[in-house]
Amino acid sequence: MVSQGQGGHEGFSGTPLWKIKEQYAAQREASMAESLAYVAARSKPIVPPNVLVDGICMGGAGAGKPYTRHALVKDFRKVADRSKVDFPVTGLFADQAPIGLYALFDGQSSASETPGHLAAEYCAKNFHKKVMDNISSLPANCTSETYVKAALVKSFEDLDKELIETQPDIQDGCGAAVGLLVGDMLFTAILGLCDGLLYEVDGKVKPLGRTQGRPHLEEKQRLQRAGVTLIGTGPGSQIQTADGQLASVTRGMGDVAWKKTPNGVPVLSCIPEIQSTKLSWAEKQKFFLLNSRPVAEAFAEQELVDIALAFPNQPRAAVGEVVTKAVERCAPTAQCTAVEVWLLAGGFLGMAEEVGADTKDEGPAKKKQKTTTDMTSARLRHIMLKFQEGAPKTPDGKKVRSKAEAETLMRKIMRALNEEAKELKSKHRGRKPEDYALKSERFTKLCKEHSECPSAQKGGAMCGDLGWVSKDMQSKRGGNFRELVAAMRPGDYSDIVTSTEGLHLLQRIA
């Protein structure tokens, strides 16, 4: 049998060979177009989200290892690239959209009577891997807001299952507060008694996790199927098992004894409260906070906002103030942790514009307002405080300032200068900050009083002046010196800067 047809030019399917060749050609062209699109997307520079972020943990006297852990992945794409993991190139992930992952895990948000540190530590080390795996597994046509939310939920489920099934030595549990930035979309996931909030420019505060975690907020049918009883009403309510165990939390990671129950229905759920927000960045939203259980219970939301607003664009100072005040209000053993992500002006393309300037990119991004500069140097002045850890006294018997003490003093200085900056802005309304940056009388006074750099002895407007500092010199100072200078515009004050010399408050002059 020569062929299935009569002409001798048909394939085994009966389709003419010319048609088969045409189909193969179309498939090759589609495959080539897909490959070219992938290469084009991957050829764009990897940049982090245009934010400033920091987190601090304090307190827990005598607690040993910390109950709370935070993991800040400032450039999630770079981490994935180094791990040979490919993120999608369509939908929310198109054009190499910057991605950042900010997570906090708190062992004090546990169903166990005694908080532990093991579950929080394990989750902090492994959560980003689950998110990476689940995002990279999204098909090209499933990269919308809904599917990213689903990927986040699955990441919690996968990590919880792994924790319970592969880590028999970990019997404690933890809550979580997570923020995932993908381009201009913010996804938040709050689990247990941790908390978070998003602050908007018009004064609105958007709660991120207060509809779950506590017994009086939970789905009663699930709890009844699990064989537990609700004790009390309101925020102080608890759940009680048939054998008399009590817990004030109903969602969390780990806590294996509360997951493997006799009737097979877990008491605790590992599903977080998920929200998504389309960001307008500094035009509408200013920052979001992620808080451990003690911080969430110590403050009303507006109190947290007021503290943060005293330190604009200064997340290290803001969270330092938050946790310091929280420690004063909480029990001595409570560990207070907070993470702030401050959204910079210019949107998620802000950092891409700086990279584009460095690479001589003449594309559309260059037409947008820049939030950073492409100069090779920055004119700076500063106030510097020295500190030393691990040595309470110098050889001559003088007490040495610790880093925590140095940060406390620096926040006091920053608060005073921020208040003056508001006054100067009002007085010089309509003018650029750099036009009146050197008019601060308070800076000169505080610099001469506190700065431990020889530049503090200079007179007048030159007090604290470092001159023009190149990017190489910024890098050589170590710490986060160059990173924070890059985010500053002329006239701005920096966040708390750490270098090999000590702590700095920088002001960019030009």
What number is the average pLDDT over the span 441-449? 95
Structural domain contains residue 14: no
What number is the average pLDDT over the span 189-212? 94
pLDDT band at 90; cut points 50, 70, 90: very high
Task: Please check whether residues 289 and 418 belong to one and the same domain.
Answer: no
Task: Please check whether residues 157 and 298 belong to one and the same domain.
Answer: yes
Asked if residue 1 has pLDDT above 80, the reply is: no
- Please say which residue of 320, 343, 366 terminates a domain: 343
The tokens 């699990």 sit on which residue? 226
Range in 105-119, 168-182, 212-226, 269-283 with the lowest mean pLDDT: 212-226
Asked if residue 8 has pLDDT above 80, the reply is: no
- Please say which residue of 290, 319, 343 terminates a domain: 343
How many domains is the chain built from? 2
Strands (E), 292-430: 335-343, 377-385
How wide is the angle at C-alpha 67 spanned by C-alphas 64 and 70, nearest 5°? 125
Strands (E), 262-319: 273-278, 285-291
Is the separation of the CB atoms in 505 and 493 below 8 Å?
A: yes
Percent of the chain with pLDDT over 70: 87
Task: Please check whether residues 275 and 396 belong to one and the same domain.
Answer: no
Q: What is the pLDDT of residues 333-346, one digit of tens each?
A: 999 999 999 999 87
Asked if residue 218 has pLDDT above 90, the reply is: no
Domain CATH code at residue 134: 3.60.40.10
56 Cβ contact list (under 8 Å, min separation 6)? 316, 319, 320, 323, 337, 338
What number is the average pLDDT over the span 12-38? 72
Whole-number pLDDT of residue 366? 38
Whole-number pLDDT of residue 12? 58
Six-digit token pair at 84? Answer: 């040979």
Three-state SS letters, 449-467: HHCCCHHHHCCHHHCCEEE
Domain CATH code at residue 387: 3.10.50.40
Task: Please check whether residues 327 and 428 belong to one and the same domain.
Answer: no
Task: Please check whether residues 262 and 310 belong to one and the same domain.
Answer: yes
pTM of the model: 0.86
Structural domain contains residue 349: no
- Please say which residue of 299, 328, 343 terminates a domain: 343
Range in 232-246, 359-373, 380-394, 470-484 with the lowest mean pLDDT: 359-373
In angstroms, the Cα distances linking 17 to 30, 184, 379 are 20, 49, 71
Is the separation of the CB atoms in 222 and 269 below 8 Å?
A: yes
Task: Please check whether residues 444 and 397 belong to one and the same domain.
Answer: yes
Structural domain contains residue 368: no
What number is the average pLDDT over the span 194-219? 91
In angstroms, the Cα distances linking 98 to 47, 257, 277, 316, 484 are 6, 40, 16, 22, 18
Structural domain contains residue 45: no
Is the separation of the CB atoms in 112 and 201 below 8 Å?
A: no
DSSP state of 341: E
Whole-number pLDDT of residue 100? 97
Q: What is the pLDDT of residues 139-166, one digit of tens each?
A: 999 999 999 999 999 999 999 999 999 9
pLDDT band at 30; cut points 50, 70, 90: confident
Task: Please check whether residues 403 and 504 belong to one and the same domain.
Answer: yes
| Higher pLDDT, residue 112 or 411 | 411
Range in 124-138, 164-178, 373-387 with the lowest mean pLDDT: 373-387
Structural domain harbouring 139? 51-343
Is the separation of the CB atoms in 217 and 190 below 8 Å?
A: no
Structural domain contains residue 428: yes
Q: Count of residues for the chain?
A: 510
Structural domain contains residue 358: no
Structural domain contains residue 178: yes
Whole-number pLDDT of residue 13? 61
- For 125-151, b/e burial (b = at least 16 CB within 10 A) is ebbbbbbbbbbeebeeeebeeebbbeb
Range in 188-197, 216-225, 292-301 with the lowest mean pLDDT: 216-225
Whole-number pLDDT of residue 367? 39
Task: Please check whether residues 148 and 71 belong to one and the same domain.
Answer: yes
Whole-number pLDDT of residue 374? 42
Task: Please check whether residues 338 and 380 belong to one and the same domain.
Answer: no
Task: Please check whether residues 247 and 319 belong to one and the same domain.
Answer: yes
Structural domain contains residue 359: no
Task: Please check whether residues 168 and 79 belong to one and the same domain.
Answer: yes
DSSP state of 16: B
Task: Please check whether residues 257 and 401 belong to one and the same domain.
Answer: no
